[in-house]
Amino acid sequence: MSIQNDKEKVPFYCSWIFIAIVCLLLWPLGAVLMWKRGQYSRKTCLNLGKIAMVFGVIFMVGAVAIAIFAGESYMIFCGIYGILGAVFARMGYEAYKKANVYRKIIFEVEDEGTLMVPMLADEIGMPEVDILKNLDVMFKKNLLPEYELARNNKKLVKK
Per-residue pLDDT band for 7 (boundaries 50, 70, 90) equals low
Instruction: For the chain, give the percent of residues with pLDDT over 90.
Output: 0
Q: Minimal CA–CA distance to 80: which of 141, 155, 22, 126?
A: 22
Domain ranges of the chain: 9-96, 113-159
pLDDT digits (tens, 9 = 90+) for 70-129: 766 677 777 777 887 888 888 888 888 888 888 888 888 888 776 788 888 888 888 988
CB 80 within 8 A of CB 37: no
Decide: pTM greater than 0.85.
no
Cβ contacts of 55-59, under 8 Å, gap ≥ 24:
55/29, 55/30, 55/85, 55/88, 55/92, 56/84, 56/85, 56/86, 56/87, 56/88, 56/89, 56/90, 56/91, 56/92, 57/85, 57/89, 58/85, 59/26, 59/84, 59/85, 59/88
Per-residue pLDDT band for 43 (boundaries 50, 70, 90) equals low
| Residue 56 pLDDT exceeds 60 | yes
**Three-state secondary structure call for residue 110:** helix
Q: What is the rounded CA–CA span in Å between residue 2 and residue 129?
A: 75
